[in-house]
Structure 1
Amino acid sequence: MNGYLSTSRRRPQTHDIATKLVKRTDVVSVLFQIEVHIKKIGNSVNFADITQFSEYPNGKEVLFDLNTCFKIESIEQDGSIELIRMKLSNPGEMITKDYIELTLRKTEEKSVAIVFGRLMCNLGQYDKSQHYFEQLRKDPNGENLAWIEFNIGRVLCYKGEWKEARDHFDCAYDRMVANKPVRVKDSTRVLDKIGLILENQGKYDEALGYYKQALDIKEKCYLPGSVSIAASFNHIGNILSSQKKYNEALDFYKRALDIEGKCFSSGHVNIAANHNKIGIILRGQGRYDEALKYYQRALEMQEEHYPSGHADIAHSLSNIGHILFDQAKYDEALDYYQRALKMREKYYPSCDIAIVQSLNNIGGLLFEHEKYDEALDYYKRLLKIQEDYYSSDELDIAQSFNKLGKILYHQQRYDTALHYHQRALKIQVKHYSSDYVDIATSLNNIGLILEKQVKYDEALDYYQRSLKIQEESYPFGHVYVARNLTSIGDILYHQRNYDDALDYYQRSLKMQEEYYRSGHVEIAKSLYSIGTIFYDQENYDEALDYFQRALKMREKYCSSDHVNIGESLNIIGICYEKQNKTKIALDYYHRPMTIFMKFLPPDHPSRIRIEERIHRLTKKK
């Protein structure tokens, strides 16, 4: 490959170039200082002082062959720039040679020219790698055209240009199957790449077909314990996981891990990654303790074998935080989330997506823990990064607006919350079709605020618009649809339209019972709401039936001293009092009183009212 690294022996000139102002804030100015001991390097390094041949002799230009290797001696701050001191390295030539030989063995590639182009791609120099292979295609000089097409597709894949990449992979595949004899074994690498493109496009069934076709060939061409077969198991596992076929995905991941455990050292990146994948599946199945073990094992490997600050370590810390969050171990989860954030802030640029994810994790945890002021701070930090570095109408910004709106809603700052939700909706309407589910979520959020502001007609309009989208998106029902039905029922109840409210509550209940087969607190809420309507209609027997069912479910899914249990006991007591069953009513009043005294202040209305009821009924006795 023809190419040279241009340097200068004039430090002031290069320093001025390095410190030249740029608009980007996520880059650091760097000056490379190269030290050369001419007598020690022999003839292994090609470089030359071209001052006398240059159009700009004052630049004192020195050219180095692009294949030249340097050893970094130090990195230090020098004013506003980072100064990297380097020496020419004779051993570097051997390192390069060893890398090429290793890649040749790993990929079963026989061409150094192909490996060199792959190296540029692996180093993230995608445009250079693409240009290199395109030039090689024009003048192949005996190089295999199928592999050239394949590697152009590979570069385009890394650049996210899926359609163009697919064209090159198809061309590579056609050349391989047209070969005499057919290059069946080589074709598996192309099939895997086509599967990856389809996977990234969300075409999971098609992707699965290509991955399985590649696996069938590999099982005939490779030994049973081949890492190439393990790679296929992982590919298929990824698809099944995306399709929420968790048991099947878990089986493929474990088969891959079994092979990798025999082929690689214990700290190999593939093994750690597979532990994390299995952990994700187990978490999705609610098997939190098992998932935690896999996540912790992955973290142990990474901390032992990876440099501190490695992206995968921060990722594993976050995964463990997710499990602890799911187990409601909020303090422990927060510790892991903050460790991940601290690591990412130390090693990544401030705009890195991983930092945004960490801020989002911590904000979400604090929100669930009802620490709204702290959650608001983290979400505002997240939003500032997004607004500084993203387009103003990015969908991620819309999500942040909705999260801020939810916090402000819980802080009863309804006007400000409404402002954020409306900004989110404006962005979503611009990007999505009118029937997209995220739009339904924003409409629902706005409805909640309008309901709190007692603007029932407006709230009802937003809820119904949201419901229409959800029913089209989930024709067979979904918990989101059920929640919206409940919200509409609440509005109709407030408007004293009891018959219509009852209809919406019952539709919601039916959907919830189909979705949550073993019960759920949301079912308890619907039962309670239906009971409230019968109570207001003075149908106390029906009301008691629903209130008792709600209590039974709350006792199953809430802690024994949860305020909602106290609420259920209280309303049951009121029903019995309405039926003049004083003794039973008094018993039900005493039970929630214990809960209210523990959690509610003395001047709380619920506590005051139940004290009055107990006093009144006690006097009757």
Structure 2
Amino acid sequence: MLPQNFKHRTISSIALTLVALQSTNLFIATPSALAKEAAAATWQAYLEQGDSALTEQNISEAEAAYRKALELVEKNSHKPVDEENCVRKLADTLMLRNKVSEAQNLYLRLLNTLVSRYGNSSPKLGKVLISLGSIQEALGNHQLAMDYYQRALKINEKNYGYYSPEFADNLQSVGRTSFRLGQTEDGHKYFKQSIKILTNQPSLSASEQLKRTLKNYKDILKGEDKSNQTLIEDFNKDIYGDKKGPKGAAQSSPQPKANQSSFETERAFKLKASAQEQISEAPQIVLKGLNHPETEASLAPVFKTMNETIYNQSHFERGEDYYQRKISIDIEALGATHPAVANDMCSLAVYYMSRAQFAKAKPLLSKALPIYESTYGQDNILTINTRASLASTLFHLGETAQAATVYRQALSRGQKTLTPNSIETARILNDLAYLYFQQGKLEDSCTFYEWALASTEGAVGQKDPLLAACLKDYAQVLRGLGRGQEASAAEARAERIIDAKQ
């Protein structure tokens, strides 16, 4: 039998232990508290089950789990945020299952709850309002959708700021709805604002958001009337300084390509074939030829996204008005000196050059070149190619002396990037050699053709039609110099290359 004082001491010790456990939240003293804890664990388990099912794209299972979680959390004591979370997740899942009416009721319930708890300006309201706007947009009630979006816009601007990704995403919704309401000018404005904000955001999430925004905007532009004269007039004002474009530039059919070398003809043929097959040889062309210490991984994600978005498209299937509108949009959204604007200008310039509309191409290349120089430097491949294209344009416009100067600049200023056996070097040498031939400077032309032959062969190999074209051009110069036997040998070699390809 235990002593009485031992029993008393034991009970006292247990009491003290209970107090200590309660004070440290390590012990729940009553059966009702234990029941509540079990219930809480149950609704949380259902919530986690729903999250897991949603990740695995099992939408029906996610819906059932979220319903159970909401049912249980309503029956037991909980924090306000717990119920809000359950309602929101169930509503989101119902939208995925196209149960729009029930989802809308839950969103409205959640909206009223949030307003009563946190006020009309709480950041918690933004996503709910956008969800309600999306429902109305899907139902075709665009004005009601706009009301929700505009309300969310004010809240997001107040809580996150004008330059935040939240505000930018909201702008996209407002812009899309503006187009559907026929308010196209406002639609352009909101999309441009969104793109401009996201372009200045360094985060990877903003980069992905920008990619979606650009795609959505592009899809909307596809559906627009391509005769949108306002943007085309803006383009002409930005590029040519007036609203008419260069004199005599209105022609739409290609001009006869006089004074064109065999090499240029073959290169143009390859370019056209590549475009028709929608081949992208350099999808990340912005990185090609950089001599700076930056690597692809260290470049700002949004900056990289802009260039990938532009260069992963097939430009050759676009019409003139598409490029004009795109340039006008980008100038307003990104600024006149942004490299994306230079990309657009060069794309349109190539479009014009392929149609022998060199008067139109010249001002575009002249504006793009200094943008590339200031952004990437003299040695970047974009800068070099743009300078070479400008030289070619000047040559076709009869400005041969200026063209020769620009060609030589392309060679000398790009020597850190260009190798003797690169296709860019081969192009410039061939063009410069042909220019001297047209000027009657046969000795200079012959020298440059000898360099061009070595460069072309190193770039494309001994069996490529480009080499055959270069040999044919070289043969003309040799005949002009009275070196007929060498000319015949060059022509014979060119024919063997061509025959082998057939």
Query: What TM-score results when the alignment is normalised by the length of structure 2?
Result: 0.44
Higher-Rg structure is: 2
The structure with higher relative contact order (CA 8 Å, sep 6+) is: 2
| TM-score, reference length from structure 1 | 0.36
Give the strand-richer structure, 1 or 2.
Answer: 1
